Amino acid sequence: MKKMVCLISVAAVLGMNAYARDYVEDVHGGISHASIDGEHKAAYNIGYGITKTLDNKVLFGVAFNGEYANLSDGSMYGAGTDFKLGYNVWEKLNAYGIVGAKLQSVDGNAGYGLGYGLGVDYPITRAISAAVEYKSYNMNASNIPDYDYKTLGLNLKYAF
């Protein structure tokens, strides 16, 4: 039985490529309203993403991001990876869920965390699209108390 399940799983993964459109790569950047344990600031991000949409309109992707925010008593730098799974709701509008991991330095104190979120994106032109995303992370830090990190942001993506 285990061999059959394994065989079906491998066939499904290999078969997905036969029905899938090409991968779309993008570079993106944007601004977010960031909340670090109640302190609200603007955060800036830049990143690279890969997305694949299957013929059944299911999409999945991964994005790698770097970010910066100027806090009242210092600064925050971060890097993260987001995994996305969603659906092409209308011809152009995509809605997706996000699961991610993030590393941060807040005033020189290292932190890491896992998070979740939701997003939508809509193409403005063939190569440019806009995305709105909400993300929430539970961060664990080394020399400061654990904290929550939440963002609501707007990104512009350039696909190539």
Residues pairing with 90 in the sheet: none
Could you tell me which CATH number the domain at 22-159 has?
2.40.160.20
Sorted by where each begins, the domain ranges of the chain are 22-159
Beta carbons within 8 Å of 80's beta carbon, 6+ residues apart: 64, 65, 67, 100, 101, 102, 103
Average pLDDT score over the chain: 88
Confidence of residue 38 (pLDDT cuts 50, 70, 90): confident
What predicted TM-score, i.e. pTM, was given to this entire model? 0.83
> What's the whole-number mean pLDDT along residues 70-90?
93
Per-residue confidence (pLDDT) for residue 125, from 0 to 100? 96
pLDDT at 5: 44
pLDDT at 127: 96
Three-state DSSP class for residue 60: strand
Between CA 149 and CA 50 the distance in angstroms is 24
Residues constituting the chain: 160
- Window from 19-28, 81-90, 112-121, 126-135 with minimum mean pLDDT: 19-28
